[in-house]
Amino acid sequence: MAQGDATSSIEDLRWPSLGSAVRRIGPAFVLGAVALGPGSLVLSSMTGALYGYQLLWLLVFSGVFMIVFMEIASRFGIVTDEPIWTIVEHKYGRTAAVVGGIFAVLTSLGYETGNVIAIGLGMEAIVGGSPLIWGTAGAVAAIALITLQDLYDKLEKLIFALIFVMIVGFFGTLAITGFSPGDATSGLVPTFPDQQAVFLGMAMMATYFSLYAAIYQTYLVKEKGYTTDDIGQSIFDSAAGITLMGIMLIAIMIAGAVVLNPAGVIPESAVDMAVQLEPLVGTNASLLFGLGLFAAAFSSIVVNALIGSTMFVDGLGYETGMDSKPVKLVAITLVVVAWLFAFVPSLLGENPIDTLILAQAVSIVGLPYFGAVILILSNDRDVMGGFANTRIRNALALIGYLASLGIAIYYATSFL
């Protein structure tokens, strides 16, 4: 299954110059749109509001684990000729592949529902109006984008533009609020102040350290056209993309720690999060934070739909390219169903929280499965040849996987 390029093993990687590496960044930044979705924004802001800097260390640890799994997934996608669930089918049978596809599409649906709602709230914070109308407009725009041909190149350019908007919104937040580097450094010492901090911290960690997103990296490097000579480039791409997203989440947490924590304000929506800036810049708070939230939600709604659809059709044995009809059809269906889950209960005067809880529970159950699959296959020399994991990679990945497993178990028991 391994490709026959000039670089023949993991010990023989070619490293690009810094300038070349920066010019060729791409796949990990596309996935960063998932790590920096509306859920991670709310949780980071809420964590800063409740506990100040005390859980900052969790974002650092999560970023390290995510980079490790992204590197493993990138290498796997580059080395193998076939997509991951097709390989799972060859080695372990169709059922194992279908289960992976089902977990992926259900996970995507849970995230998509939150993204549709966040687009509506973000636009409401910017210009006012109804979240229903704005959420619907965002869903329609996402569907229009998904239908385009040569989608990867267009998506990459869009994500870079939206990341720029997020940088303006969230780093602008930090620049205005200011912070104490000394106090922030104290948050790098691992600690959980209380039981609620454990629950909130694990939720925040799960949104940033996403094994579901890491699996999709195996497809994105194929879309990018990387070969084994580009593994060094993919490592740089993974580290840079995930680090930038982590820094933005840290900026949001710090803003919550500086402004909301002393005031005792706990954010529960986009408007609440905008309160971070209100004491300093007045009504411009909603505009600045709303811009960042909209960019995060819109980038995430498109990428999430593609993740779920790609892995689902792969599990069923269909073509997995972004421009394939099965991928586009399932992605569009996911956006439509997410819109229904987001707004139909509200239109009927009901609360959609039960649906969201169920979707979250299912998505959490899938995390250990995704992690086990990528760890087992990346150590299989029949699949990876000389590019199988090294001991240090396995050690770091195992620690991250056990953390993910702990999150899944903790959440599963909380639903009982």
Q: What is the DSSP string of 185-238?
A: HHTTS----SHHHHHHHHHHHHHHS-HHHHHHHHHHHHHHT--GGGHHHHHHHH
pLDDT band at 314 (very low <50, low <70, confident <90, very high): very high
Please check whether residue 11 is in contact with residue 232, taking contact to mean a CB–CB distance below 8 angstroms. Answer: no
Q: Would you state the structure tokens that stand for residue 97, as one six-digit string?
A: 């592949």
Average pLDDT over residues 127-147: 88
Alpha-carbon distance 283 to 124, whole Å? 13
Fold of 10-414: Amino acid/polyamine transporter I (1.20.1740)
Q: What pLDDT sits at residue 380?
A: 94
369-379 pLDDT tens trace = 999 999 999 99
Who wins on pLDDT, 280 or 95? 95
Residue 278: which residues within 8 A CB-CB, separation 6 or more? 285
Who wins on pLDDT, 314 or 270? 314
406-416 pLDDT tens trace = 877 776 676 55
Please check whether residue 56 is in contact with residue 184, taking contact to mean a CB–CB distance below 8 angstroms. Answer: yes
Average pLDDT, the chain: 83
Q: What pLDDT sits at residue 281?
A: 47
Alpha-carbon distance 221 to 214, whole Å? 11
Alpha-carbon distance 350 to 23, whole Å? 49
**Has residue 81 got a pLDDT over 70?**
yes
Alpha-carbon distance 121 to 135, whole Å? 8
4: left (phi > 0), else alpha (psi -120 to 50), else beta? Answer: beta
Q: What pLDDT sits at residue 415?
A: 57
Q: What pLDDT sits at residue 353?
A: 47
Q: What pLDDT sits at residue 286?
A: 60
Who wins on pLDDT, 358 or 57? 57
Neighbours of 189 (CB within 10 A): 10
Q: Would you state the structure tokens that stand for residue 194, as one six-digit string?
A: 């209380």
What are the CA-CA distances from residue 321 to residues 154, 224, 327 (Å)? 14, 11, 7
Q: What pLDDT sits at residue 75?
A: 94
Average pLDDT over residues 57-71: 93
pLDDT band at 208 (very low <50, low <70, confident <90, very high): confident
Neighbours of 30 (CB within 10 A): 28
Helix (H, G, I), strand (E, B) or coil at 408: helix
Helix (H, G, I), strand (E, B) or coil at 320: coil
Average pLDDT over residues 293-299: 79
Alpha-carbon distance 59 to 245, whole Å? 10
Helix (H, G, I), strand (E, B) or coil at 80: strand
| C-alpha count within 13 angstroms, C-beta hemisphere, residue 244 | 19
Residues linked to residue 80 through DSSP beta bridges, in sequence order: 2
Task: Give the rounded percent of residues in the chain with a pLDDT score beyond 90.
Answer: 33
What are the CA-CA distances from residue 49 to residues 180, 190, 225, 256, 389 (Å)? 16, 18, 43, 5, 40
Average pLDDT over residues 300-315: 93
**Has residue 157 got a pLDDT over 80?**
yes
318: left (phi > 0), else alpha (psi -120 to 50), else beta? Answer: beta
Average pLDDT over residues 250-255: 86
Q: Which of 393, 15, 31, 5 is nearest to 225 (CA)?
A: 5
Q: What pLDDT sits at residue 291?
A: 76
Alpha-carbon distance 36 to 109, whole Å? 17
Residues linked to residue 2 through DSSP beta bridges, in sequence order: 80
7-24 pLDDT tens trace = 667 777 778 788 887 877
Helix (H, G, I), strand (E, B) or coil at 330: helix
What are the CA-CA distances from residue 336 to residues 39, 141, 213, 267 (Å)? 20, 12, 21, 28
